[in-house]
Amino acid sequence: MSAQSTVIRPNTVPKLRARKGAEPIVCLTAYTAPMAQLLDPHADLLLVGDSLGMVLYGLPSTVPVTLDMMIAHGAAVARGATRALVVVDMPFGTYEESPQQAYRNAVRVLRESGASAVKLEGGAVMAETIAFLTSRGIPVMGHVGLLPQSVNASGGYAALGTADTSGWDRIIADAVAVAEAGAFLIVVEAVSEPLAVRITESIAVPTIGIGASASCDGQVLVIDDMLGMSSRTPKFVKRYAELGVAIGEAAGRYAEEVRSRQFPSEQYTYRLKGDNRPSDGDRKP
């Protein structure tokens, strides 16, 4: 795969980091160039999430997603965006082994996709790796709280910190460690609102909530979820459209017209030159 040149867009790492406590940061996932073009005027940050494994490839979790998949989709989104910062998820198994492994793979992501930063999951255990990357010029977006790549260890996608406060200190400490290691933003996923408040107040960089209340410094949603194209809707997702229903209805109308030979009509058919018969669109009622 050929290297892509990194484009400095209006929304940069320093600009978004400086938004702590200011205007909320708008983030959405994107996986293709056409979708990136549609979202770019509205989003400050486009995240090429490893959620693509589930919403595009039909995988049961994000665990099987590969680095090549992330680079290919990252390059597509980077080509479609002109103003939003583009961040690419590091998939499971590409950064946990050592800081050196993470560095090699992060370099590939930035070089081959043209994105501006990478995102990786984990708290204090990943602080050394984040510091290693950021000290070598690779911007890192952190991720604490619910960790989808660790679903096999956690046993599911349950929200954290909702029953009591017993596990709060560990999650807050994870966020502090990631921020102090140099992450410029931190995703906080599926935690109770008071815990999200504590995390946001405890660190000097912006928090991006997903199922973590409006108390965070910004929000992110999976685009397929918010557009109504996913079969399962998590509690924290507001569906802003029902495109899944609209697509199904459009496909149904198309199928009906094909079977009844209504489509393609003359309006959508090539003719011989000199054939001046009026097309369907030219005929007056």
Annotated binding site for 3-methyl-2-oxobutanoate: 50-51, 89, 119
Q: Let me know: does 70 contact 47? Beta carbons within 8 Å.
A: no
Helical H segments across 40-98, by residue range: 52-55, 67-80
Binding residues for Mg(2+): 50, 89, 121
Which residue ranges are tagged as binding site? 50-51, 89, 119, 121
In this structure, what token pair is assigned to residue 213? Answer: 């209340």
The CA distance from 179 to 183, in Å, is: 5
DSSP assignment string, 229-273: --S---TT---S--HHHHHHHHHHHHHHHHHTT-SS-GGGS---T
| Burial status of residue 11 (CB atoms within 10 A of its CB: 0-12, 13-18, 19 or more) | buried
User: Residue 159 and residue 232: Cα distance in Å, rounded?
Assistant: 16
Residue of 23, 97, 189, 201 marked catalytic: 189
Active-site residue flag, 189: yes
H helices of the chain, in order, are: 13-17, 33-39, 52-55, 67-80, 99-113, 127-134, 151-154, 168-181, 193-202, 223-226, 243-259
Positions marked active-site:
189
